[in-house]
Structure 1
Amino acid sequence: MITFQDENVQLDDLLDRMAESLQLDQTRYELMIQHYEAIKKWIETDELFFKPFKYELYPHGSVKIRTTVKPIGKDEFDLDIALHLKTNWNQHTPEKIYSELKRRLSEHAAYKEKMELKNRCIRLNYAGDFHMDILPGIQENEWDEDKLCVPDRALGYWVSSNPRGYSKWFMNQVNMAKTSILLKALRAEKLPENDYENKKPLQRGVQLIKRYRDIYFQKDDTYKTSSIVLTTIAGQFYNGEESIFLTVENIVNRIRQHTMYMPARIKVLNPVNSAEDFTDKWETEPEYYTAFKAFAEHLYFEWQELKKKHGIISESRILKGLFGDDLYLRAQESQANIIEKARSANELGINRNTGMLGAAGAVSTSAVKSNTFFGD
C-alpha cells in the first residue's frame, strides 16, 4: 500500500507510476531475451568467420540501464546489442567486420527479412514489438575490456566506442542514492516494499524527461534531442537526490543555468571517452541546440508551476501537458486502486491533523471505513 502522509511522497508515487507504465513490460522483455539468445547462438555457430574468435554479445543502452520509454503511437522498443570481438583490430578493416555480420544474419531466413543496414549497426525489426540494433566491434586494447573500435560506414574507418563502460558509469550515478523517499515512507510505516519496482530516482527521472521530449517534439521531430544526450546530461547533473521530483528539478535547473548564463553552448561529452562529443551536431547544425534550449526552458517553467502546489486540478493539468493524458490517468487509476484495496482491507487511515491518507494505526491517524453496499 502507498502512504500519503506527505504531499512530496504522494507526488513522487504518481511520478513513479507514470514512469513504470512507460517501461518495457516483463512479457516483452522475456521475448527480447529469447531472440537475443537465438541470435547469439546463430553467430556462435558460424564456421566461416566468427567461430574461432573469442567474443561477447551483450545488451547496452536503455534496456541495460533500465530507462526504456515506450514510443508515442508505437509499440516498438529498442534493444541495443554489442558484438564484442577479442582480437587485434589492426588485422581487420571496418568493412570486413560489418560485412561478415551482415553475411551471417543474411544466412538465416528470418533475420534476412528483418534486416536493416544502419551506419554503425545492423537492425533487426520485429514489427510491433521491438527492434534490435547489433553493433559489431573489436576490443581496442588489452588493458581496457570495455573499449571498442566500431565501424563507421559513412566515415569509412574505425571509431572508438565504449557502450559497456557507459552503462557502468550511469549505474554508478544511479546508485549515488541509496534509497528513495518512497521506500523510506514504506519502511517508516512498516509496509511491504514490493509495491515499488527497485528503480532509483535518476532512472525514473530520465524516463520522464525522455517522455516529455517525445511529447514536445511530437509535431516536428526534425531537431529532436537524442536520448543519449538527455541521459548523459541527467547523469552528469544528478546529485544523489532521493526524490524523483527533486531529481528532475535539479537537472532542469542546472540545464537552465548553463543555457542561460554560460557564454558557450553545452557540450555533452561521453563520460567514459572524452574525445567523443555527443553534441557535435549542435556545432554544425545549431538548430539542434536552439530546439534543445526551448524544450528545456519549457520543462523548467512547467516544473516551477508544479512546485507551487496550486492543487490537484492544476497539478493534473501540468502533468498531462508534460507527459500525456493517458500516462497521467493510468497512474492516477493505479493510485486509486491501491487506495481502494487498502480501504477494503481496513488498512487505510486518515491523519487527523493534516487530513491526508496513510496507513491505519499510524500516529494521529483514524481508520477509514471500507465501502459497503449502500454505505452500510
Structure 2
Amino acid sequence: MLLIEEKRTQIDDLLDKMAENLQLDATRQQRMKQHYEAVKDWIEADPVFFGPYKYDVYPHGSVRILTTVKPVEREEFDLDIAIHLKPGMGSHSPARIYAEVKRRLEAHETYKGMLEPKNRCLRLNYSGDFHMDILPGVQESEWDENKLKVPDHDLGRWVSSNPRGYADWFLAKANLVKMSLLEKALRAENLPADNFDQKKPLQRAVQLIKRYRDLYFQERFSDHKTSSIVLTTLAGMYYTGEESIFDTVDNIVSTIGRETAVAEKRIKVFNPVNPQEDFTDKWEDDPRYYIGFKAFCKHLQSEWQELKKHHGIPDESRILKGLFGESVVTKAYQSQASHLEELRGGGKLGINRTTGILSAAGSMASTVKPNTFFGA
C-alpha cells in the first residue's frame, strides 16, 4: 500500500510496513500451529487422567491478539497455550493438576527431553526456534467461561487468571476504531489494498513498542527487561481510539510519561479483567525493573517528539533506525518505493492538477508515465 496525499499518512504507511516486517512469517506460524496441535492431541489422548474430562486447549498471549514480533538475534519466541479444564475439577489440588500435565508430557519420547517445569506452566523448548508455555487451569465457575484457577507452584495454591478474557479485552480496545487512517486513505485514493492485512493501529503500535523494547534492553538493564504483558496492558489502557499508528504510539508513550512523572511511588499495572493479578509485582522486589521501564519509556517519548518535527526523510530515517533497527526500516522504505513503481507502471498513479502532488490516477489527475531505461 502506498499513501501519498499527506505526510501523516506516509509515516503511518511506513510504520505499518515496519510492523508487518516484524511479525512472525507464515512458515513459522504454521510450524508453531502444528506443534501446538500435536501437544493438544497428545494430552487429549491421555487414558490415565485427562481422557474423561472436558476441556479446551487454545493459544493466548500475542498469538491470540495478533501482536507477535520476531525475536532479536538468538532470542526465542514465546508461544502461550492454555489447558482450560471445565468446572468439576475442584476436588483436585493445584499440585495434582500440574503434576498430571507434567506426567503426560514426560510420557512422550520427544517432549520429555524438551520439558522445563516453570512456576505456573510447563515449558517445551523447541531449541533455536521458540518455546511453548503450557498453562493448566480449571474454570472457576459455570457462569464465567473465561476465568481460571491456575496452580502456582511456589505458593502451593490456586491463583486467579483470565488469559482468554484478557485477549477479548484487548481486541475490544483495538476495535474502538472502525476504520484506520490507512484504510480511509485507501478508499479515498481508490488504491489497491494488496497485502494489507488491516491490523488495527493499537495492534501495530504494540508490535513497534515491543520491538523497541527488545533493542533498548539489549544495551541497558538487560536482566530487567519490561515484560510484553505490561506494555500491552498499558497500551490497551491508554488507547483512546486513535485512527493513526503514529498517534497511537504518541498517545501511549506520552500518557505513560505523565503517569510516571506524577506518581509518588512506582505505578502498578493490574490485569484489566482480573484486578487481583498485578503484572508488576516483581517491580516491588527489584526496583531495577521499574527504573529500566521508566528510562525506556522516556527515551521512546523523546525520540517520538523528534519525529513529530518533520526534519525530512534523512532525519526521519535516522530516528526510526535508532528505534527499530536498520534492516526493518530499510525494508519498509524499499517496500514503499517498490509499490510506488508498481502503481506508476500500472497507470494507477497520477499528479493532482489542483495540488500538484502524487495521487491516484483519476479525473483530477494526469497519469504519471512509467519509468523506462531512457526515461521516455
Counterparts of 2:80 and 2:315 in 1: how far apart (Å)?
A: 39
Partner of 1:273: 274
Counterparts of 1:193 and 1:103 in 2: how far apart (Å)?
A: 49
1:216 aligns with 2:211: no
Deviation at residue 89 of structure 1 after TM alignment: 4.4
- Tell me which amino acid in the other structure corresponds to 2:127: A
CA RMSD of aligned residues (A): 1.5
Q: CA, structure 1 residues 75+334, in 2 after alignment: closer, same or farther (shift >3 Å)?
A: farther
Counterparts of 1:279 and 1:209 in 2: how far apart (Å)?
A: 18
Partner of 1:86: 86
1:246 aligns with 2:226: no
Deviation at residue 74 of structure 1 after TM alignment: 3.3
Partner of 1:349: 350
Partner of 1:310: 311
Counterparts of 1:344 and 1:128 in 2: how far apart (Å)?
A: 42
Counterparts of 1:196 and 1:152 in 2: how far apart (Å)?
A: 41
> Which piece of structure 1 moves more, 347-356 or 48-57?
347-356
Structure 2 gaps, min length 5:
none
Is the 1:202–1:234 contact (alpha carbons within 8 Å) kept by the matching residues of 2? yes
- Tell me which amino acid in the other structure corresponds to 2:223: T
Counterparts of 2:176 and 2:261 in 1: how far apart (Å)?
A: 28
Seq. identity, %: 62
TM-score, normalising length: structure 2: 0.96
Is the 1:3–1:185 contact (alpha carbons within 8 Å) kept by the matching residues of 2? yes
> Which piece of structure 1 moves more, 350-359 or 140-149?
350-359
> Which piece of structure 1 moves more, 282-291 or 177-186?
282-291
Q: Matched residue of 1:109: which SS?
A: coil
Q: Matched residue of 2:21: which SS?
A: helix
Partner of 1:264: 265
> Which piece of structure 1 moves more, 322-331 or 67-76?
67-76
Deviation at residue 367 of structure 1 after TM alignment: 2.4
Q: CA, structure 1 residues 204+108, in 2 after alignment: closer, same or farther (shift >3 Å)?
A: same
Deviation at residue 258 of structure 1 after TM alignment: 0.6
Counterparts of 1:353 and 1:75 in 2: how far apart (Å)?
A: 51
Partner of 2:120: 120
Listed one character per residue, the Cα deviations across residues 102-142 of structure 1 (whole Å, up to 9, x for unaligned) are 11111111212222211111111223332211101111122
Q: CA, structure 1 residues 35+313, in 2 after alignment: closer, same or farther (shift >3 Å)?
A: same
- Tell me which amino acid in the other structure corresponds to 2:84: H
Correspondence list, 1:40-59, <5 A:
40-59=40-59
Partner of 1:27: 27
Counterparts of 1:239 and 1:331 in 2: how far apart (Å)?
A: 27
Q: Matched residue of 2:178: which SS?
A: coil
Counterparts of 1:191 and 1:216 in 2: how far apart (Å)?
A: 36
Is the 2:224–2:289 contact (alpha carbons within 8 Å) kept by the matching residues of 1? yes
Deviation at residue 167 of structure 1 after TM alignment: 0.4
- Tell me which amino acid in the other structure corresponds to 2:371: N
Counterparts of 1:197 and 1:355 in 2: how far apart (Å)?
A: 30
- Tell me which amino acid in the other structure corresponds to 1:73: E
Deviation at residue 353 of structure 1 after TM alignment: 5.8
Partner of 2:16: 16
Structure 1 gaps, min length 5:
none
Q: CA, structure 1 residues 294+185, in 2 after alignment: closer, same or farther (shift >3 Å)?
A: same
Q: CA, structure 1 residues 362+166, in 2 after alignment: closer, same or farther (shift >3 Å)?
A: farther
Listed one character per residue, the Cα deviations across residues 67-87 of structure 1 (whole Å, up to 9, x for unaligned) are 001111037322110001113
TM-score, normalising length: structure 1: 0.96
